[in-house]
Amino acid sequence: MSMIFFACVVRVRDGLPLSASTDFHLSQDFLECRKRLKALSLILTQYPSRGTARGRDLSIHFLSSGEVASMVICSSSYSTIMAFCFLEELQWEFAAAYDTTSIGLASRPYAFLEFDNIIQKVKCHFNYTGCSQMKISLEKIQEELKFRPPVLLKLEDMELMNGLTNGGHTELYMGSVPTYRMQPVTAIGILSLVLNIMCGALNLIRGVHLAEYSFQEDHEGIGNVIAFFLPFLACIFQCYLYLFYSSARKMKVFVLVFSICLCNMYLYGLRNIWQILFHIGVASLSSYQILTRQLVEKQPDPGV
């Protein structure tokens, strides 16, 4: 069971959220805890660099360093030392990825949305791996917490903070994660979708026909059947990645293109060189379209 449920990185001076994990939970307790975390993020300047707000089932831990603070919601039974190890790791990763200038110039919430990939990786690392593999040693954090213990808060106190921070311009950051949409589909993008669907259909038809023969006559042809079905699935997934945003897109695109190329080379003999080049060319075009179609933030209504 996951012990770390949500993590985010905020700018200390104004509570501007810079990045956050996107695996939301829908329980009422968690949603309430999220609201209290946002209220707390707006007044981090009033507290020392480390703090903990404990509740019955969920707790909030935060760690500030310079302009940036990392915050996490985790189970109340989760080790405080492990929680601050997680926050230290997140701080280290964020500092390695972004400089202070870009952080200071950030003007919109979630300006570093792509950092979600790193948050997910670190979160998974702490939820599912042993302590011995952590970059930040538990002994070091334990020693620091011994000499500089985190300030202790109560989650119930966050309710009052939530009301106090609703006034003024700070309410801009009290909402949920902003809505994003993909850039408009281009003519070349539509062409890549059509070609991808066509390649997928060809792979499926050839695979089904070959499967009928292989299961009845030639059991050694199972490898060829798999080599047709895998590119079919890859083509469908490429269409999905082009139409909808997904984290770790670069990694997924690379795996899909590599699979299509490998399977088509395996099918040399059943396909001629021009057919193989056509399928690889369509996969490459689709990959380029996926990687160049970016997220665009929906601008809030200025009248609100």
Looking at the 3D structure of the chain, how many domains does it have?
A: 2
Last residue of a domain, one of 98, 128, 162: 162
What is the pLDDT of the chain when averaged over all its residues? 81
Is there a single domain that holds both residue 21 and residue 156? Answer: yes
**What is the tens place of the pLDDT at every residue in 221-246?**
788 888 899 999 999 999 988 888 77
Is-contact 145 80, C-beta < 8 A? yes
pLDDT given for residue 299 in this prediction = 46
What CATH number is attached to the domain comprising 16? 3.30.450.50
pLDDT given for residue 35 in this prediction = 87
pLDDT given for residue 179 in this prediction = 45
Q: What is the mean pLDDT of residues 260-279?
A: 91
Burial readout 204-235 (b: 16 or more C-beta within 10 A, e: otherwise)? bebbeebbeebeeeeeebeebbebbbbbbebb
Q: What is the DSSP annotation of 7-74?
A: EEEEETTT--EEEE-------HHHHHHHHHHHHHHTTGGGS-SEEEEE-SSEEEEEEEETTEEEEEEE
Percent of the chain with pLDDT over 70: 81
Q: Looking at the predicted structure, is the pLDDT value of residue 69 above 80?
A: yes
Please give the residue range of the domain that contains residue 187: 181-292
Query: Which is it for strands 151-154 and 68-75: parallel, antiparallel or unpaired?
Result: unpaired
Query: Which is it for strands 151-154 and 50-54: parallel, antiparallel or unpaired?
Result: parallel
Is there a single domain that holds both residue 11 and residue 155? Answer: yes
* Domain assignment present for 171: no
Last residue of a domain, one of 162, 192, 219: 162
**What is the tens place of the pLDDT at every residue in 119-175?**
988 888 887 765 555 544 677 777 888 878 888 887 666 554 555 445 443 333 334
Is there a single domain that holds both residue 9 and residue 139? Answer: yes
Is there a single domain that holds both residue 155 and residue 186? Answer: no
Is-contact 207 229, C-beta < 8 A? yes
* Domain assignment present for 115: yes
Of the listed ranges 13-17, 78-82, 83-87, 294-298, the one predicted with least confidence: 294-298
Is there a single domain that holds both residue 192 and residue 151? Answer: no
| CA 223/CA 266 separation, integer angstroms | 9
| CA 4/CA 78 separation, integer angstroms | 8
Is there a single domain that holds both residue 147 and residue 189? Answer: no
266 burial level (CB within 10 Å; 0-12, 13-18, 19+): middle
Q: Looking at the predicted structure, is the pLDDT value of residue 266 above 80?
A: yes
Q: What is the mean pLDDT of residues 260-280?
A: 91
DSSP 107: -
DSSP 165: T
pLDDT given for residue 181 in this prediction = 64
